[in-house]
Amino acid sequence: MAMAEGRNSTTVARFILLGFFEFPRLSGFLFSIFLGIYLMTMSWNLALITLIKIDSYLHTPMYFFLNKLAFLDICYVSSTVPKMLSDIFKKQKSISFMGCAMQYFFFSSLGLTECCLLAAMAYDRYAAICNPLLYTAIMSPTLCVQMVAGSCIAGFFGSLIQLCGLLQLYFCGPNVINHFFCDLPQLMILACSDSFFLQVIISVLTVIFGLASVLVIIISYGCIIVTILKISSGEGRFKTFNTCASHLIAVTLFFGSGVVVYLCSSSDDSLSQNKMASIVYTMLIPMLNPLIYSLRNKEIKDALNRWKKRIFFLNF
């Protein structure tokens, strides 16, 4: 800690990240598990990006968004996991105040961007199912690029506003964060100054990003369900619903885990539970997204088969 000018107290210069201190004997096991998850996340998302890039049949709006989601998940998991892995075997798991603030900035920016991108993907599914004849005209390449760019810009400025509010807080101790990364709720608990203004900012951003994104998704899928129910054959209804089932699963996991963590109590009894729940949306969801979108997707399977045949013929 360093002495603050004009104050009789000290200013926190570094924070201590407790990580998974509850399981000291499982450090090696946890490191292996989390490293495996991180490597699988990187490899599966990179493989999906590569497949979409090289297969011309996948150059459609749906896979354009899926490509960007895979890249976003790579950045998202990389904003927290490498630091957490490097801290597991350290006795002093510390991070500077500015490092902590920047880690949350990138984590939050990517998370808010993903909220917007998932809403854009829901609109894409709405256009494809409810207006199939006009789908190409509605989801033009220009609009797709604008929606992705808009998601990134909105996420950046949403996180920047939070960062500005965080930098206004005064930290005089304690400096121990019961988490494996710098999350804003835990930082606000440690603040010595009034965090009411930052709480207002978070509430406004929650409405703008969380509720607005969920509202777009609910309206889109409401229209999709109505359209599906109008299909006469059961096979046709199943086939149509199957085209958007993967996205619906991904949306449920992402927003569901976020609600569990950020709407739960911040009391000491719930911090460990929140920490475990945070693993879902910081590590497991980025790892599972490529599988969710690929396992039941015939176009992805066909692209993989074409890729395998191409490699086979190249070898001979």
- Do the beta carbons of residue 182 and residue 101 sit within 8 Å? yes
- Residue 4 confidence class, pLDDT cut points 50, 70, 90: very low
Q: Which residue has the tokens 């206004």?
A: 168
| C-alpha span between 19 and 34 (Å, rounded) | 12
What are the pLDDT digits (tens) for 38-94?
999 999 999 999 999 999 999 999 999 999 999 999 999 999 999 999 999 888 889
Question: What value does the mean pLDDT take over residues 192-207?
Answer: 91
- Do the beta carbons of residue 61 and residue 139 sit within 8 Å? yes
The pLDDT value given to residue 73: 97
Query: What average pLDDT is seen over the chain?
Result: 89
| C-alpha span between 288 and 268 (Å, rounded) | 30
What are the pLDDT digits (tens) for 270-305?
666 778 788 988 999 999 999 999 877 888 888 888
Q: Domain boundaries in the chain?
A: 11-315
Size (the chain), residues: 316
**Is the predicted pLDDT of residue 1 greater than 60, yes or no?**
no
What are the pLDDT digits (tens) for 12-25?
889 999 988 888 88
Q: What phi and psi, each to the nearest 5 degrees, are found at residue 17?
A: -95, 115
**Is the predicted pLDDT of residue 7 greater than 50, yes or no?**
no
What are the pLDDT digits (tens) for 231-272?
888 888 888 888 888 899 999 999 988 887 777 645 455 666
**Is the predicted pLDDT of residue 6 greater than 50, yes or no?**
no
Identify which of 215, 209, 246 has the alpha carbon closest to the alpha carbon of residue 115: 209
First to last CA, the chain: 66
- Do the beta carbons of residue 250 and residue 289 sit within 8 Å? yes
- Do the beta carbons of residue 176 and residue 215 sit within 8 Å? no
Fold of 11-315: Rhopdopsin 7-helix transmembrane proteins (1.20.1070)
Token code pair at residue 117: 């991108």
